[in-house]
Amino acid sequence: MADLGTDNYEMENTLGLVDSEMKLLVEIDGALLRIENGTYGICQADNEPIPKERLKAIPWARYCIACASLLEKGIAAREDSFDESNDDYEAKEE
């Protein structure tokens, strides 16, 4: 029974890591699309430039620190999302 529990834990842990990596790849793909359409480095919430220091730390950043903080707290609504059904980045209107 202990081996079965360990196997289940390892499987869930691995699946969680794969999910995190897939989400990161989607973020990177989104950044590449923003580079192509000329909007890379522009905050998607307030249309202000994202500081270069933030982009150096998180090259796929979509929001400046202030807007990202508001989003994390649930104070601001996201203006875009990812269509996870096909892993393509799509801007969606709310």
| pTM of this structure | 0.66
Q: How far apart are CA 44 and CA 84, in angstroms?
A: 19
Digitized pLDDT (tens) for each residue of the chain, 94 residues in all:
667 778 888 889 889 899 999 999 999 999 999 999 999 999 999 999 999 999 999 999 999 999 999 999 988 666 554 333 334 444 433 3
Segments making up each domain of the chain, as ranges:
2-90
pLDDT of residue 83: 38
The tokens of 25 are what? 């790849």
The residues with which 82 forms a beta bridge, in sequence order, are 89
Q: For domain 2-90, give the CATH superfamily.
A: DksA, coiled-coil domain (1.20.120.910)
pLDDT of residue 51: 97
pLDDT of residue 77: 64
Q: How far apart are CA 38 and CA 31, in angstroms?
A: 10
